[in-house]
Amino acid sequence: MDFWTEIPSLGKRDLRDLKKGIDSAFKGFSRKYGDGIEAFFDPLYYFLVWLEKLLIAAPWPIILILVAGLSYLGSRSWRLSVGSVLSFIVIGYFGMWKDMMATISLISVATVICIAIGIPIGILMSRYDRVQAAITPILDLMQTIPIFVYLLPVVMLLGIGRVPGLIAVCVYALPPIIRLTNLGIRLVDKEILEAADAFGSSYRQKLFEVQIPLALPNIFAGVNQTIMMALAMVVIASMIGVKGLGMPVLQSIQNQYLTLGLMNGLAIVALAIIFDRVSQRYGKRLQAHRYGKDHE
């Protein structure tokens, strides 16, 4: 009768030995190769430190001019540009300037890395069904696995701080850009591709001159989602010692400092909205421009 009530299981001792075995194998790996792996990521680490120090050291009016300029360049909207500058001023006024700069440096580097890795993978997935079949479950895993499950091994390898934080952010923020690049390219009209074939275009020409341009709205939606998810990870990244707006949020959660939590939380939201609107407008503008040219 035991068969029906007790699910067959590895004995307690075997299970323990299995876990201990894997743990100690990982620790051995970390002892042996940890320094090498850390050295591999060092350029990235020093770049992050450099960027953060640069942003913090830069005089605030220059940052504001940059913010105004970049957001105008991206969106071509005075209202958005003024709104961004105002939110930066308010955030600075409430004493969150340094934390904001630290967060911006991490998020922008993370976004650039995610785009640089994500778009090529998305293109590969759209080209080969097998690659898609292999990568989709990995993306599912990246988006659902509880963060600390992979964060602690990463911290054991690389130490606490920016690089593991960046990796955590990218693991979570990478999937949307990959998925949407893949989807966008796959959704390009078959007839248009046939036309391109008929004109005798090579794969390369088809990809860069037909598929990617037509997939841009989706790709930009992916970039946008990636930025949003990266910002959502700011607090988690702080849990392994990344400086920024996430630290005060952690502090407020532990101590029920409602206002502190709210202020820093809203600062993250403000950053998210600015990044979101600017990148969306930029994406749209890119499209409008192309359609405009096509119609001419």
Where on the chain is the footprint of another protein (CB under 8 A)? 16, 19-20, 27, 30-31, 34-35, 45, 49, 148, 151-152, 155-157, 159-161, 238-243, 247-248, 250-255
Q: How far is the CB of 233 from another protein (least distance, A)?
A: 13
Tokens of 25: 């194998």
Q: Which is nearer to another protein, 123 or 151 (CB)?
A: 151
CB of 171 to another protein, least distance (A): 16
Instruction: In angstroms, give the least distance from the CB of 104 to another protein.
Output: 18
Question: To which residue do tokens 């743990």 refer?
Answer: 23
Which CB, 174 or 245, lies closer to another protein? 245
Using CA atoms, how far apart are residues 244 and 227, in angstroms rounded to an integer? 16
Distance CA 223, CA 204 (A): 23
| Shorter beta-carbon distance to another protein: residue 35 or 140 | 35
Q: Which CB sits closer to another protein, 117 or 239?
A: 239
Q: How far apart are CA 151 and CA 88, in angstroms?
A: 31
- Could you tell me if 135 and 125 are in contact, meaning their C-beta atoms sit under 8 angstroms apart? yes
Residue in the block written with tokens 């961004």:
84
Least Å from the CB of residue 34 to another protein: 6
Q: Name the minimum Å distance from CB 59 to another protein.
A: 22
d(CA 223, CA 174): 9
- Closest to another protein by CB, 20 vs 289, is 20
Those residues whose C-beta lies under 8 Å from the C-beta of residue 152, and which sit 6 or more positions away, are none
